[in-house]
Amino acid sequence: MADALVRVDPGLFVWTILTFLVLVWLLRRFAWGPLLEALERREKLITSAVEDAQKTKAELARVKEDSERLLAEARREAGSLVSQARADAERLRGELREKAAAEAATITKNAEREIEQQTRRAIQQLRQEAVDLSLQMASKILQRNVSRQDNDALIQDFVGQLENKPPPH
């Protein structure tokens, strides 16, 4: 039996080659054609996908550059706006200081005017009280006949009342 496997048989050899060639022809006709066609379609699909990926990568790089440019521009504008806001705030602060100083001057002038008016009223009131006291003193003098000593005592009493009386507010 071992010899049968090692021994060369020309009929078996021909049939083996013929079967092999038929099998190759069948595989080429029905398997390799569709297989090669599927491989070509796959290759085209991969090539197309790679091209699309490269286009997308280029577009992404362009978009990134645009966004960086826009971001830099936005930062410049923001810096400009902040500077402008600071300048406006400083100008407004100065205007408010000037306005406050003007209002303070007006309030001071009004207060001085009020003080002058109050002083005039106080002087007027003192004069009126002096006249009233003089009239009261005169009426007391007229009501009784006084001696010189009584008259001097009345005057001293009147002057003492004027000195002790607090000024009106």
Domain assignment present for 51: yes
Rounded to the nearest 5 percent, the helix, strand and coil shares of the chain are 90, 0, 10
| Single-letter amino acid code for the residue at 79 | G
Domain assignment present for 85: yes
Tell me: the pLDDT tens digits for 76-130? 999 999 999 999 999 999 999 999 999 999 999 999 999 999 999 998 888 888 8
Average pLDDT in the chain: 86
Domain assignment present for 55: yes
pLDDT at 131: 74
The total of structural domains in the chain comes to 1
Separation of alpha carbons 104 and 117, rounded Å: 20
pLDDT at 30: 85
DSSP one-letter code for 9: -
End-to-end CA distance of the chain: 150
Tell me: the pLDDT tens digits for 140-149? 766 666 567 7
Angle of helix 148-164 relative to helix 33-143, nearest 10 degrees? Answer: 180
Separation of alpha carbons 86 and 98, rounded Å: 18
Separation of alpha carbons 169 and 161, rounded Å: 18
1 pLDDT above the threshold of 60? no
Domain assignment present for 10: yes
Which residue range(s) make up the domain with 134? 2-164
Domain assignment present for 169: no
